[in-house]
Chain A
């Protein structure tokens, strides 16, 4: 890529980024875009960003329960993607690769949290949360129930309900069989309903 084009792309940074609406996994297309990126095509990187950044952000935000940290995670993911150019490699599942990086970074973040402070010592109002201030009590209840799910279950529901991926796409992302994803999602939803019922019952 020429220097002039690299300078001109910086101007694009000022534009408002509009994420694409439908999140889909098209492995062959994604591989082609990734290869273009590896060869030095910056427009391919921007395509990848527009396609995946929103999903990565939502995924990280719901796993961490903190939108600021999710933003940091997103930047770290793209930093790692750019670093791939120095050590080019063949990717079979680019979307899966991006989500694996995000997942690992989220795990690290959660580990750091565990090491630094005990949740028991923090008052509830200081707990990290991505809830909107304008939420109704029912919505808060659902969010609390979602946060109470196991990491794996929450991850599945977030990918499905927030990122908009279908279950077969999630299976591709997580490199699991569609049947396993289907069963886990069913159980996770049942568990979510159960927690909501428990939380909504008067004490």
Chain B
């Protein structure tokens, strides 16, 4: 048994040695300090590699897969379209274009037209699905590591004076002055379009309730 053989070290660390080989190896390991150091170093390397590989294995390859599928679909569609187009070109050279359109000519030309429409639809579907997938992938990758910091609430005093917004009249169009209201704590104050105060109908002082 050649103990310097790194394959043997691998087999020992992976538990693939036969019981006899294992016993022999352990006997050698007890007496050889260099071998112990070597085995320990290899064990650390293997463990680190396994840990790193697990991290890399957790990466999702769906986007690459979608890319492959879309590529395959595109080549299939291109091939189909080009072959039918060739067939159409061959037939239209022998028969006139008018007769083809009127149905008296080549059926393959009409078929090729149909196939090319279907082909472009297929490309559209593939592209749409790919976009959907990539959009989902983008959504599915939350990269936030830290907790979101809550934004402190800003308490602002309510505005005391609210100026009525200016309304520009359009020329040549007759407009009825609209009433605008402003709530002033208790009493409602009405303004017309020019900003003049109109007396409120609900003002109990001016308009007492009927007895």
Partners in one complex: yes
In the bound complex, CA of A67 to CA of B53 (Å): 12
The answer to whether A42 and B71 touch across the interface, beta carbons within 8 angstroms, is: no
Q: Which of B35-49 contact A (CB under 8 A)?
A: 38, 41-42, 44-49
Q: Is B63 an interface residue (CB 8 A)?
A: yes
Question: Which one of B7, B56, B118, B129 has the greatest number of beta carbons of chain A within 10 Å?
Answer: B56
Interface string of A135-151 (1 = CB under 8 A from B): 11011011100000000
The complex places the Cα of A161 from the Cα of B47 at a distance, in Å, of 11
Please count how many residues in chain B sit with their CB below 8 Å of the partner chain's CB atoms.
Answer: 46
Q: Identify which of A45, A53, A67, A161 gathers the most chain B CB atoms within 10 Å of its CB.
A: A161
Q: A82–B72 contact, CB under 8 A?
A: yes
* Nearest B-chain residue to A86, judged by Cβ: B75
Known contacts A10-B69, A10-B129: A57-B61 contact under CB 8 Å: yes
- Check: B55 CB closer than 8 A to any chain A CB: yes
Complex contacts, A16 vs chain B, CB 8 Å: 60, 62
**Stretch in A27-35, A70-78, A90-98 with 4+ CB within 8 Å of B:** A70-78
Query: Known contacts A3-B119, A6-B73, A74-B61; is A139 also within 8 Å of B6 by CB?
Result: no
Given A75-B64, A139-B48: A57 in contact with B56 (beta carbons within 8 A): yes
B29 proximal to A (CB < 8 A) = no
Number of A residues, CB within 8 Å of B: 53
Residue of B nearest to A72 (CB): B64
B111-150 CB contact bits vs A (8 Å, 1 = yes)? Answer: 0000100110010011001100100000000000000000
Report Cα–Cα, A3/B41, bound state, in Å: 56
A162/B51 contact (C-beta < 8 A), A12-B69, A13-B62, A42-B72 known: no
- Chain-A contact segment, one of B76-84, B87-95, B101-109, B155-163: B76-84
Question: Does the CB pair B115–A82 fall under 8 Å?
Answer: no
- Of A6, A14, A82, A167, the residue contacting B122 (CB under 8 A) is A6
B residues within 8 A CB of A143? 48, 52
Question: In the complex, what residues of A have CB within 8 A of residue B59's CB?
Answer: 57, 67, 71
Stretch touching chain B among A107-115, A116-124, A186-194: A186-194
* Chain A residues within 8 Å of B42, by CB: 189, 193
Whether A53 touches B77, Cβ cut-off 8 Å, given contacts A9-B72, A78-B71, A139-B48, is no
Distance to closest chain B CB from A58 (angstroms): 6
Given A67-B59, A78-B64, answer yes or no on A142-B49 (Cβ-Cβ < 8 Å): yes
CB of B45 within 8 A of CB of A142, answer yes
When C-beta atoms are compared, the residue in chain A nearest to B129 turns out to be A10
Q: Identify which of residues 21-54 in chain A touch chain B, using a CB-to-CB cut-off of 8 Å.
A: 40, 42, 45-46, 49, 53-54
Cα distance A63–B46 when bound, in Å?
18
B66 within 8 A of A: yes
Residue in contact with A3 in the complex, picked from B53, B72, B122, CB distance below 8 Å: B122
B193 in the interface (beta carbon within 8 A): no
Q: Which 7 A-B pairs have CB atoms at the shortest separation, nearest pair first?
A: A142-B48, A132-B55, A6-B76, A13-B66, A139-B48, A82-B71, A13-B69
Q: 8 additional contacts, CB 8 Å, given A57-B59, A78-B67?
A: A3-B115, A10-B130, A40-B76, A40-B79, A58-B53, A67-B56, A75-B67, A162-B53
Interface residues, chain A, with chain B CB atoms under 8 Å away: 1, 3, 6-7, 9-14, 16-17, 19, 40, 42, 45-46, 49, 53-54, 57-58, 61, 67, 71, 74-75, 78-79, 82, 85-86, 130-132, 134-136, 138-139, 141-143, 161-162, 167, 185-186, 189, 192-193, 196-197
What are 8 inter-chain pairs, A to B, with CB distance below 8 A?
A6-B77, A7-B73, A14-B62, A54-B61, A67-B59, A78-B71, A82-B68, A162-B56
The residues of B with any CB-CB pair to A shorter than 8 Å are: 6-7, 38, 41-42, 44-49, 51-53, 55-57, 59-73, 75-77, 79-80, 115, 118-119, 122, 125-126, 129-130, 133
